[in-house]
Amino acid sequence: MTDRYERTEVVTILDHDYTLKAPPGGEQTLLEAAQMLQETLASTKRQFPTLVGDRLLVLTAMNLCSQLIEARQQVDSTVENLERTLEQR
């Protein structure tokens, strides 16, 4: 059985290096995700300078999950609006 995640990338998050595998063609997405996480961690750290370690990571993860949920809701709403528009034609 072949490992479909053949390409590895090293990303640094909170001064720790992580070796992560990406599917073929997914390397750029992996790097962009790591960059987004780094930027969001930095933003959260600016807002809450006393947070460190796990607490910083959890709050950042919660913020990212909240953004993802909002984006999904917007997509669902847009799809519903488009479906209604198409039904009216």
Question: What are the two backbone dihedrals, phi and then psi, of residue 69, each rounded to the nearest 5 degrees?
Answer: -60, -45
* CA 77 – CA 38 distance, rounded (Å): 30
> Which pLDDT belongs to residue 5?
62
> Which pLDDT belongs to residue 8?
87
CB atoms within 10 A of CB 57: 16
Range list of H helices, 24-89: 27-47, 53-87
> Which pLDDT belongs to residue 20?
93
Q: Which residues pair with 17 in a beta bridge?
A: 12
pLDDT per residue, tens digit, the chain (89 aa), is: 456 667 788 999 988 999 999 988 899 999 999 999 999 999 999 999 999 999 999 999 999 999 999 999 999 999 999 999 999 98
Query: What is the chain's length?
Result: 89
